[in-house]
Structure 1
Amino acid sequence: MSTKGFFGLIGAGIGVLLLIIGLFTFTERVPEGKVAVVYSPSGGAKKVLNPGWHLVGLFEKTQQYPTRITILKNKVTVTTKDGKSISMPTSYEMKVDRSKVLDIFKELGSQNVEQIQEGYLYQRLFRATRSVVSDYSVLDIYGTKTTEASAKITEKVADESKDLGFIITNVVLGTPELDKETEKAIDARVQAAQELELKRQQVENEKLEAEKKKIIAEGEAQKKVIAAEAEQKANQLIEKSITPELLKKMEMEARLKHGWVEIQGATPLVEAK
């Protein structure tokens, strides 16, 4: 290979290398489910990029935001209505309103999602959780009212965040972390509630059994009444059917069969032939 050809090959290699470097330097890939704000340190936000590959300027940077639901997690420490300080893991769903992405950037700057989560969004989550949990006892939050409280917190956080462009849904409160004394007190109350429920169920079963026996007894009594009424009606029919003509006929039939018959009342007395 000649010297000229050798240097030409080196030049081509350098050109390809510079092209590759240029592609990485001047292009930006925005994944599906996200948008990106293009900004420069001196000029601020310029435009919003949709998913795909885009050319960007030498001194331009980008910041991406999720337009699909992203699950974020935090831990908050608040005080209940009965004065107990509790720490709870929380999670919620978040995405941004694409039409307000530039507003978010202008308000919060080039913060990424993790920084926004720990700052702007956490402040609103904490305020809403503190406000809602203060209306509930520690036993409520530990058990039966968790879903109700979570729904109220979701409503508050969503309302405070929507104007800037954050869409918050489905805040979920995890199991509170309690001190040992509070745990013992809750366990005792839960056990007492379970025992009370067991007794209530026993009483209910006894009531059902008594009602069952009552129904059976009433049924038997009704059967006896019906049988007695039927027997009375039968006797009445028999009495009505015994007429002087029938007695005379019975007497004549008895004489023919047995000989002399004397009728006293409704009872025939037979004398043997």
Structure 2
Amino acid sequence: MKKGNKIVGGIVVTGVMVVGGVLITLSTHKIKPGYVGVVYNLRGGIQDNILTQGLRIVSPFQKVSQYSVATEQAYLSRDKKEGSLDDDSFMIPTSDGKTVNVDLEFSYHFDSDRLPETFTRFKGQTGKEIEDNFIRGKMKAWTSEVSSTFSVIDIYGEKRSELNSNVLAHVKEKFYEYGIIIDSVNFSRIELDDETAKAIQERINKQQELETAKIEAQKAEIEAERKKVEAQGEADAKIIKAQGEAEANKILTQDLNDEILSKMYIEKWDGVLPKVTSGDISPLLDLNNIE
């Protein structure tokens, strides 16, 4: 009898341990790094406490949904990238009636202060489920609202960074009410149809030709101005030289009195007297009549 009681007791203990182990397993939740958990009780609704990363024990009758509070990277791409399913590229409209095919990469995280509200709004979906079922689709729609204000050449050309900036501002505002914070957006690929691409390339070529012509015209204008300055400089130099020579001659003429002229003659005379004389001409020269 005692032996039978021991067996029964062993079975009961074993059963309790098994049940306890199962309950512990069901009650243990591992919250991943960068995530937090929202606890929902079927009776009491959402719990006030938010579970941080690590192993956490909750009632087996409570549900835990995890949401990223760190930055998550997502792709809407033609290629199969992380988080991109098959061909997730999409078409966006432009202000001139064109459409272009694009790849978009974006990052986001959930607002930890509003997670209970987010949980209720999305009926307990996990963060990944919200991304797949809501964020990705809305990102396409709200991006198109912004692209429709840009022309195709603006989107494809120099205003691409402005498009990124405007899309980021727009989707930030749109997603905020859902407790979702958009950190960044970027069009990693913008592809045009062949006809549009050709037309834009022709326009770019013409613009480059025009810019080249402007540069050449500016060079010619600068060169002409340089030559004009050089010519004016040469003319001014000649005038200054002529004025200088005239002034020098004037001064020299004023200073050449009879005494100076006589001195100059003596300095140049070789000391030989004239050999032929006639009449009453004096053999001595009149120094006062030297020309």
**Alignment-derived partner of residue 165 in structure 2:** 151
After TM superposition, the structure 1 stretch with the greater mean CA deviation from structure 2, 194-203 or 151-160, is: 194-203
Structure 1 residue 161, shift from structure 2 partner: 1.8
Q: Aligned with 1:158: secondary structure?
A: helix
Separation in 2, partners of 1:258, 1:56: 141
2:117 & 2:147 partners in 1: Cα distance? 31
Q: CA deviation at 1:21?
A: 6.0
The CA RMSD measured in Å over matched residues stands at 3.3
Highest Rg: 1 or 2? 2
2:66 match: 64
Shift of 1:135: 1.7
Question: Shift of residue 14 of structure 1?
Answer: 10
After superposition, give the CA deviation of every residue in 1:75-118 in whole Å (9 maximum; x if it has no partner): 44222111112221112221222111111111112223333234
Calculate the TM-score normalised by the size of structure 2.
Answer: 0.73
Report the CA distance shift for 1:222/1:23 in structure 2 as closer, same or farther (over 3 A): farther
Does 1:214 pair with 2:215? no
Question: d(CA) in 1 for partners of 2:176 and 2:73?
Answer: 17
What residue number does 2:188 align with? 174
Unaligned runs of 5+ in 2: 1-6, 8-12, 77-88, 274-284
Q: What one-letter code is carried by the residue in structure 2 that aligns with 1:63?
A: S
CA distance in 2, matches of 1:240, 1:97: 101
CA displacement at 1:13 relative to structure 2: 11
Match of 1:239 among 244, 247, 253: 253
* 1:49 paired residue among 48, 51, 71: 51
Residue type of the alignment partner of 1:71: Q
Counterpart amino acid of residue 69 in structure 2 = T
Q: Give the secondary structure class of the aligned counterpart of 2:190.
A: coil
The gaps in structure 1 that reach 5 residues or longer are 1-6
1:56 offset after TM fit, Å? 1.8
Match of 2:243 in 1: 229
Tell me how far 1:145 sits from its aligned partner.
1.2
- SS of the equivalent of 2:191 reads coil
Return the offset for 1:15. Answer: 9.8
Worse-superposed segment, 25-34 or 140-149: 25-34
Report whether the alignment pairs 1:78 with 2:105.
no
Partners in 2 of 1:261 and 1:131 — Cα distance? 113
The equivalent residue for 2:144 is: 130
Which stretch has the larger CA shift, 214-223 or 253-262? 253-262
The structural deviation recorded for 1:129 is: 2.1
| 1:63–1:256 Cα change, 3 Å | same
Deviates more, 1:80-89 or 1:161-170: 161-170
Identity of aligned residues (%): 28
Q: Is the 8 A contact 2:258 2:288 kept in 1?
A: no
2:178 counterpart letter in structure 1: L
Q: 1:15 to 1:43 in 2, by over 3 A?
A: closer
Q: 2:57 is matched by which residue type in structure 1?
A: L
**One-letter code aligned to 2:254:** K
Which residue in 1 is equivalent to 2:29?
Answer: 28
Pair 1:177–1:232, CA change in 2 (3 A): same
Match of 2:80 in 1: none
Query: Which residue does 1:3 correspond to in 2?
Result: none
- Is 1:164 the counterpart of 2:165? The answer is no
Q: Is residue 100 of structure 1 aligned with residue 114 of structure 2?
A: yes
Q: 1:251 to 1:35 in 2, by over 3 A?
A: same
Contact 1:35–1:65 (Cα < 8 Å) also in 2: yes
Higher deviation after alignment, 57-66 or 138-147: 57-66
1:175 is paired with a residue whose SS is: strand
Looking at structure 1, the residues matched to 271 and 53 of structure 2 have their Cα atoms a distance apart, in angstroms, of 120
Match of 2:219 in 1: 205
Q: Using a 3 Å threshold, how does the CA distance of structure 1 residues 237 and 69 change in structure 2: closer, same or farther?
A: farther
Residues 251 and 263 in structure 1, CA contact (< 8 A), matched pair in contact too: no
